[in-house]
Structures are given as C-alpha cells and as structure tokens.
Amino acid sequence: VNTASASSNQTPSITDSVPIETANPEIRSSKTASEPRLNPDGTFDIDFSIFVKNTGTVTLEPITLTDDLNAQLGNSLVSIVNQPVISLVGEGSENTVLPSINSSYTGTQSNINLLTGADGVLKAEDSFKVVFTVRINPNATNAPQTYLNQATAGASSGSLVVSDNSEIGSAH
C-alpha cells in the first residue's frame, strides 16, 4: 500500500492510500511414476507424469522443462518408449498457450529438454502436465539400487527467472 498525505494552513489535511500489486513470479513442479510393468525380456516400463503450475501472480513465458534421465537412472535407462505428450490440467485461462514438446527427447545429456523452451504462456494459477514412458533394465551393469528422478521446470516474467525442482506428488 502506498500512502500519501498533504496538509496546508488553508485546507484540512488529507490522506489517501492506493494498493500496489507487486509481480510475484513463481513456478512449481511435481513428478509421479506409475507402478513398473514387467516386460518379457526382464525390463520394466514406467509412466512418468510431470505437473507444472504457475503459483505466482504474473504470466510466465517461455516455459522450460528438463529431465536428465541418464544422470539419474544411469546404465539402467534403456529408452523412451512413448514420447512426451502435453495437456492442460483443468480448463486453464483463455490466454494460456501450451509450450511445444521436444519430439526428439531422449533423456540423455545431449537431449534433456522435454520442451523446446522457445514458447508457452502460462497464466497465474494455470497448470499443465507432461506424460511419457521410460524403459529401464534394473539388471544392467552398474544399475542403481535405488531410483530417484527429478525434473526441473523454469520460466520467465520479464527479466525475472524462476525455476523449481520437482517434488513427489501433484502440483495441481
């Protein structure tokens, strides 16, 4: 709130207040995994869902989303079985524009971007999800004993840049 006061010897004093809204860019992400499905060759397929929500008060654009599966799953990463698909969660604002999926996503160091990172407009309180399927081989040489996986969402509002490492669960 911005308050101004004025006084003089000829008139009564006056005070007026005006609420000031400050930009609060904020993004949240979460990631869930399905139960692993056993394949005949001993590998497993797992569906991942990443939820991204604009929890701030201003529009965010462009939107980024990275997931370095190779760094986190190691030698057990076999492949991406189903490429990422993006959708709004709920109705969304009329001016929200879903970011473009990176159709060549592999989850390896050379290609960890789930989105192109060049577009997308996410209005305050709107959210989207990205779903894809990964094949792992827990019997691969040097495969991790425990699987931990985290994605990172990012965006901008003017010169302000925000990012968030995914939590387990749902951001919507």
Q: For the segment 80-101, what is each residue's pLDDT rounded down to a tens digit? A: 999 999 999 988 888 899 999 9
DSSP per position, 70-85? HHHHGGGEEEEEEEEE
Q: Quote the pLDDT of residue 100.
A: 97
For residue 35, give the nearest of 26, 46, 43 by alpha carbon: 46
Alpha carbon 155 to its chain centroid, in Å, reads: 9
pTM of the model: 0.85
Q: What percent of the chain has pLDDT over 70?
A: 95
Count of C-beta atoms within a 10 Å radius of residue 101: 18
Of residues 170 and 92, the one with the higher pLDDT is: 92
Residue spans of beta strands (DSSP E) within the chain: 2-6, 14-18, 27-33, 37-38, 44-54, 63-66, 77-89, 127-136, 152-157, 160-165, 167-168
